[in-house]
Amino acid sequence: MAAPKKPPLPVILMANDLIDGEVVFRTATGWSSEPREALIAGNAQAADALEAEGIAEMSRNKVVDAYLVDVVLGENGPQPRHFRERLRTLGPSIRPDLGKQAQSVIEPRGVPHVSL
Amino acid sequence: MYRYDEFDSRFVRERVREFRAQVERRLDGSLTEDEFKPLRLQNGLYLQLHAYMLRIAIPYGTLSSRQLRQLALIADRYDRGYGHFTTRQNLQFNWPKLKDVPDILDLLADVEMHAIQTSGNCIRNVTADHFAGVAADEVEDPRPTAELIRQWSSLHPEFSFLPRKFKIAVTGAEHDRAAIKAHDIGLRILRRPGTGEIGYEVIVGGGLGRTPMIGKVVREFLPRADLLSFLEAIMRVYNLEGRRDNKFKARVKILVHEIGAEEFRRRVEQEFAALDGPSVNADPEEVKRIAAYFAPPPYEELPERSVKLSIAKAAHRDFARFVETNVFAHRVPGYAAVTISLKPIGGVPGDATSEQMRIIAELAERYSFGEIRVTYMQNLVLPHVRNDELFALWEALDAAELATANASLVTDIISCPGLDYCSLATARSIPIAQSLSRRFADGARQREIGPLGIKISGCINACGHHHIGNIGILGLEKNGAEYYQLTLGGDATENAALGERLGPGLAAEEVPDAVEKIVNVYLQERSVGEEFIATYRRLGIAPFRQAFEKGVEGDQHAAH
Ligand code: HEM
Ligand code: SF4
């Protein structure tokens, strides 16, 4: 089997917490529910290390579905390039009262807003 | 309503206990995710974009007030105070924690509910006409049949590892409100011309997803007694010959398509002839026992016409409009079935808060013998309301903002969760539903347009039935952005048809204008009393495409 394609750099590592399912981000010391605390890998070596950590954490049964996500760096920290992953850092776009966006620390931003 | 017997209760409880142990082993690390995933899926637990998701079966869409209250309690205690009713008559909770799921399942078992066979390659929750037992055009209540199939298929050892998921829908009426031709097996209860004997028309090989197909009639008339052995014959042919090499070609529709309906039919009949019918078919006593649970509630003898209703309609215009759109004729004089729309203008189709669930449970108790139905249109129904009490019910619904008068109209939009929740999605679908709902918010305009079904899916899996929407909308992704493809002319009824592609895809904000153009062509071209789908059939897609293409290349805001 061919190795899965690597995302462009820089990347962060996202996963779901095993126990409550919440989206979490790998930090320098563990996992955080805050995207701005995510550890950013800017070169291939760091990305590989981050990915390896994801695999190790999955086998330690801390998280599920850990994978690298390519981001752009802004003043509020890393922001996934793809809208799917961006939504995961926020919550349902139709329910601003739910998910991470509800916890006021971060502003809903950058998701292509359907204003019609 | 069906009540669990001792066997059912014990079985469901044991299953919860088993899953509780499995969750414990997952949490303490004895089970890996790869080992655990199939186990959680067998209990209806998915992992979605933001959290886990629990899918709960509502067999044939029938709920009691007690059950609905319990769902409200679960929503409050373990979720975020709401649930999502789906096109498969299921309820989904979007935020349960893994550690809480065994407790949730125990609460469900307390009210004879579960999440078994809501996922995986087995026979899924059997769906039925939401007006079962109520509709005037009904030959027979389809729910005893659905319940029989549920019992037969629950953990059927031979059919718990099928090539792919398997969905069965049943209707007992002339008019198909259960989309039976879009299911792996669709059953229509009918009377044999001439003899009047009751039996089934059996349709196989419908389905949506990436290769949509309308089901083919495999048997015009199946005697009632042979139901299970005939189904077993179908399942055997499928289980043996359905493809397992490619998940996208594994549904029975592909088998029927590849070998042809005639050949499929021949193989089923051959298998059926070889089966030992009596050992498979249900004992007539058991069939009777099941049917007894669905005995009609104790209706009163009432006059056909209600003076009270006429007076209330004359006095309250909004109420009169509600009656026009959301009240369905009952087969028993003096009663009506009432659709409670879960599509308020700008709302999330199919979502209900725990507070709304409790209010509806209460109203069902007061006005509808404690019974509620879930429709595949993602609405709820109170099936047995006295005409005399319609006004009081409407007032209570209105006070709870549950009296949106739009059943089957252009804002009664079906939408899957899409990329706001679903991990398979390629685009969001709910915001599109909301923007269309707002665009067509005006009640008078909606009534002028008449019945028009818009259905939206957030990826080609088609959970939102877009192929069979009069106007279908499919959310896709191109170059890192969401875009939407429109189809026209789909039909979910007995005249089932798949929609035809209108043209190139659109950005989200272009969708309302495009739909508006389509609607305007219809309004211009229709003859008196002609519904959208009839006009479409008469004219074909050309005039709609013309208007659409003009919009796409020219002035985007022409219609406004
Ligand atoms: C957890 C989220 C969901 C997942 C993972 C999921 C998955 C799928 C997949 C993979 C298919 C395509 C099957 C095939 O082509 O063989 C499908 C079809 C379908 N799903 Fe879903 N679905 C989800 C949510 C829903 C919801 C919310 C509804 C109801 C609103 C629904 C109802 C249906 C229906 C009606 C079909 C099309 C009929 C068919 O051909 O099976 N699903 N789903
Ligand atoms: S159609 Fe696609 S996006 Fe919508 S619920 Fe189904 S799998 Fe998810």
For an interface test with A, give the residue of B351, B353, B428, B482 to mutate (most A CBs within 10 A).
B428
Residues in chain B within 8 Å Cβ distance of A19: 27, 97-99
Q: What is the DSSP letter of A5?
A: P
pLDDT score of A93 more than 90: yes
Of B49, B80, B420, the CB nearest to A94: B420
Interface of A with B in 56-85 (CB under 8 A): 58-61, 64-65, 81-84
Q: Is B416 in the pocket of ligand 1 (CB under 6 A)?
A: yes
For residue B381, give the nearest of B442, B327, B325 by alpha carbon: B327
H or E segment to which residue B217 belongs: strand B216-223
Q: Is the pLDDT of residue B560 over 50?
A: no
Q: What is the CATH number of the domain that holds B363?
A: 3.90.480.20
What pLDDT was estimated at residue A115? 35
Residues of B with Cβ-Cβ distance to A89 under 8 angstroms: none
How far is Cα A60 from Cα B289, in angstroms, rounded to an integer? 51
* pLDDT category of residue B551 using cuts at 50, 70 and 90: low
pLDDT higher than threshold 50 for residue B30: yes
CB atoms B425 and A61 under 8 Å: no
Nearest residue on chain B to A24, alpha-carbon basis: B50
Which percentage of chain B shows pLDDT scores above 90? Answer: 84
Same domain, B152 and B196: yes
**Is there a domain that residue B125 lies in?**
no
Same domain for B219 and B277, yes or no, is: yes
Check which CATH number belongs to the domain holding B434 and give it: 3.30.413.10
- What pLDDT does B3 receive? 78
Q: How far apart are CA B47 and CA B39, in angstroms?
A: 13
Residue B409 maps to a domain: no
The pLDDT of residue A6 = 82
Task: Count Cβ neighbours within 10 Å for each residue of A88-102 and write b for 16 or more, e otherwise.
Answer: bbbbbbbbeebbbbb
Same domain, B395 and B418: no
In a domain, B404, yes or no: no
Mean pLDDT of B484-488: 97
pLDDT tens-digit series, residues B65-102 = 999 999 999 999 999 999 999 988 899 999 999 999 99
Same domain for B448 and B535, yes or no, is yes
Domain tally, chain B: 4
Q: What's the half-sphere exposure (Cβ side, CA atoms, 13 Å) at B466?
A: 29
> What is the rounded average pLDDT of the residues B192-216?
94
The one-letter amino acid at B263: E
Same domain as B372, residue B278 = no
* B429: in domain: yes
Question: Does A22 touch chain B if contact means CB atoms closer than 8 Å?
Answer: yes
- Tell whether B126 is covered by a domain: no
Is residue A83 predicted with pLDDT exceeding 50? Answer: yes
Closest residue to A65, CB basis, from B32, B47, B348: B47
pLDDT of B555 over the 60 cut = no
Order the strands of the A11-17 sheet from edge to edge. A31-32, A23-26, A11-17, A63-74, A77-80
Which whole number is the average pLDDT over A10-22? Answer: 96
**Which pair of tokens denotes residue B448?**
């002028």
Tokens coding A41: 């890998």
- Do B459 and B515 lie in one domain? The reply is yes
The answer as to whether B288 is a domain residue is yes
**Distances in Å between the alpha carbon of B540 and those of B46, B51, B465, B488, B501?**
41, 44, 21, 9, 12
Note the ipTM here.
Answer: 0.88
pLDDT for B527 equals 95
Do B21 and B71 share a structural domain? yes
Of B49, B480, B481, the CB nearest to A88: B49
Are B162 and B281 part of one and the same domain?
Answer: yes
B292-311: pLDDT as tens digits: 999 999 999 999 999 999 99
Whole-model pTM: value is 0.93
Its domain, for residue B554, covers 414-559
Record: contact B52-A64, CB cut-off 8 A: no
Amino acid letter, residue B134: V
How high is the pLDDT of residue A104?
55
Per residue in B398-412, pLDDT (tens digit) is: 999 999 999 999 999
Q: Within a domain: residue B115?
A: no
Question: Looking at residues B459-474, what average pLDDT do you find?
Answer: 96
Same domain, B242 and B385: no
Question: Where do the DSSP E strands lie in B67-180?
Answer: 82-85, 90-93, 127-128, 168-171
| Whether the predicted pLDDT of A116 surpasses 50 | no
Q: What are phi and psi of B260, to 5 degrees?
A: 90, 145
CA distance linking residue A60 with residue A62, whole number of Å = 6
Contact residues, chain B, for A58 at CB < 8 Å: 33
Reading the block at residue B390, the tokens are: 């319609």
pLDDT band at B159 (very low <50, low <70, confident <90, very high): confident
B375 and B279, same structural domain? no
Among B399, B425, B440, where does a domain finish?
B399
Domain assignment of residue B119, yes or no: no
Using an 8 Å Cβ cutoff, are A77 and B413 in contact? Answer: no
The predicted pLDDT at position B247 comes to 86
Q: CA of B541 to nearest chain A CA: how many angstroms apart? A: 26
Higher pLDDT, B552 or B307: B307
Q: Which residue has the higher pLDDT, B508 or A2?
A: B508
